[in-house]
């Protein structure tokens, strides 16, 4: 039988880096919203040009920015899915969706900046406002945004990854015998109920959330615009229109900054929350004879982690034993465990120089 037809004996030890199956609903709904927004955009631009309405034209071109944002979101989904098995990506394409979310956050900041500039100009150089027409356009935009928000609402924030603790083991034995015998009888009853909602926001589809933020931003501007236009029409407070534009821009900037803070650390391989690392340490060291000397955990997608662990053991436990323990953390999609077996009393555990174990 040719070699390329034989089953790979190492398949069971290989890692799966396909992290995009849980995003199928988000991708589909983003496509629906893109189509809805694009159709509305074209209709407003055509109607505005036909009837000479600047309000319709302005809102149509404003919607074009959201069409571009949704195209970024959709591209990220499809690129990540189509390249999920591409060996060029060492840890899969999970971060492509994170990158899409980061790009959308930057787009939000640009939209907010343009809103501030336009609002300041109108504040010092008031324009004649066709209130009735502008109100109906704002109501149309709000309706489209509410429908889009329902489609983009993130239903996957309770989903968890399914990379159950695969890894590579590297065993090193340091057999320094000095006539010391340490016998330890530990009876530990640990209930490792890892509720992964500790950090609820970490389990969102960041790419979908970015698109959702665009919709909410547009809905917010529509609500503020309607309020300002009604105040201008019935109370003569025309200055409220540009002022509400500035208020909306400030809020959108804050949303965009929050999205940057959520995505940038993942793109930069920042370490995850200390609480997760502490739970991993407690689990590994729960037998009283194992000690972690080196631990790195970072995100490879919005919901999946990679981990590299070096463990010093007195009981001769293998890397497989520790990987089995770490399977209690289903978010760990890629685990590498290095074990160092040491029966020398000079191996200090938990900071004790005499070799004793707490």
**311 close to 339: Cβ distance less than 8 angstroms:** yes
User: Residue 285 domain-assigned?
Assistant: no
User: Residue 99 domain-assigned?
Assistant: yes
CATH number of the domain within which 242 lies: 1.20.1510.10
pLDDT in tens, the chain (358 residues): 444 444 444 444 444 445 444 568 889 999 999 999 999 989 888 887 887 666 677 778 888 888 988 999 999 999 988 888 888 887 888 899 899 999 999 998 998 998 899 889 988 988 888 888 889 988 998 999 999 999 988 554 444 434 443 444 444 444 333 333 333 333 333 333 344 434 444 446 888 989 999 899 888 988 998 999 999 999 999 899 889 989 989 999 999 999 999 999 999 988 777 788 888 888 888 888 888 889 999 888 877 888 999 999 887 788 888 888 888 888 888 888 998 887 765 565 544 434 333 4
Count of domains for the chain: 1
Closest CA to 258 of 218, 305, 201: 201
User: Residue 51 domain-assigned?
Assistant: yes
Cβ-Cβ contacts under 8 Å for 307 (sequence gap 6 or more): 167, 280, 295, 296, 297, 326, 332, 334, 335, 336
Provide the whole-model pTM.
0.71
**Could you give the angle at the alpha carbon of 305 between the alpha carbons of 301 and 309, nearest 5°?**
150
User: Residue 120 domain-assigned?
Assistant: yes
User: Residue 143 domain-assigned?
Assistant: yes
Query: How far is 204 from 207, CA to CA, in rounded Å?
Result: 9
CB atoms within 10 A of CB 184: 11
Q: Which domain holds residue 254?
A: 16-159+201-267
User: Residue 194 domain-assigned?
Assistant: no
Question: Within its chain, how far is the Cα of 173 from the centroid?
Answer: 40
User: Residue 189 domain-assigned?
Assistant: no
Q: Which three-class secondary structure state does DSSP give residue 340? A: strand
**C-alpha pair distances (Å), 184 with each of 113, 280, 283, 288:** 65, 22, 18, 8
User: Residue 23 domain-assigned?
Assistant: yes
What's the chain's Rg over C-alpha atoms?
28
């Amino acid at each position: 039988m040719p070699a390329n037809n034989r089953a790979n004996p190492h398949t069971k030890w290989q890692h799966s880096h396909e992290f995009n199956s849980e995003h199928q609903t988000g991708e589909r709904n983003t496509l629906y919203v893109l189509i809805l927004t694009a159709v509305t955009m074209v209709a407003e631009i055509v109607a505005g040009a036909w009837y000479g309405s600047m309000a319709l034209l302005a809102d149509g071109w404003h919607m074009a920015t959201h069409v571009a944002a949704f195209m970024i979101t959709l591209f990220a989904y499809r690129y990540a899915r189509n390249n999920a098995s591409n060996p060029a990506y060492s840890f899969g394409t999970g971060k492509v969706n994170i990158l899409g979310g980061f790009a959308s956050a930057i787009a939000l900041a640009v939209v907010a900046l343009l809103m501030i500039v336009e609002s300041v100009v109108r504040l010092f150089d008031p324009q004649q406002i066709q209130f009735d027409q502008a109100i109906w356009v704002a109501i149309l935009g709000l309706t489209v945004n509410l429908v889009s928000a329902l489609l983009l609402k993130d239903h996957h924030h309770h989903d968890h990854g399914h990379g159950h603790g695969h890894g590579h083991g590297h065993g090193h034995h340091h057999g320094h015998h000095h006539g010391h015998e340490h016998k330890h009888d530990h009876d530990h009853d640990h209930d490792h109920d890892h509720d992964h909602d500790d950090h609820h926001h970490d389990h969102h589809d960041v790419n979908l959330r970015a698109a959702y933020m665009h919709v909410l931003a547009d809905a917010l501007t529509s609500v503020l615009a309607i309020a300002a236009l009604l105040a201008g029409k019935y109370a003569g407070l025309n200055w409220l229109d540009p002022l509400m534009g500035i208020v909306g821009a400030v809020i959108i900037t804050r949303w965009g900054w929050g999205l940057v803070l959520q995505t940038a650390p993942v793109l930069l391989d920042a370490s995850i929350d200390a609480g997760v690392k502490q739970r991993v340490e407690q689990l590994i060291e729960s037998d009283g004879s194992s000690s972690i000397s080196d631990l790195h955990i970072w995100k490879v997608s919005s919901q999946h982690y990679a981990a590299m662990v070096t463990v010093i053991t007195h009981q001769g436990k293998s890397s497989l034993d520790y990987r089995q323990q770490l399977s209690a953390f289903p978010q760990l999609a890629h685990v590498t465990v290095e074990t160092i077996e040491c029966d020398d009393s000079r191996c200090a555990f938990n900071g004790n120089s005499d070799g004793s174990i707490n």
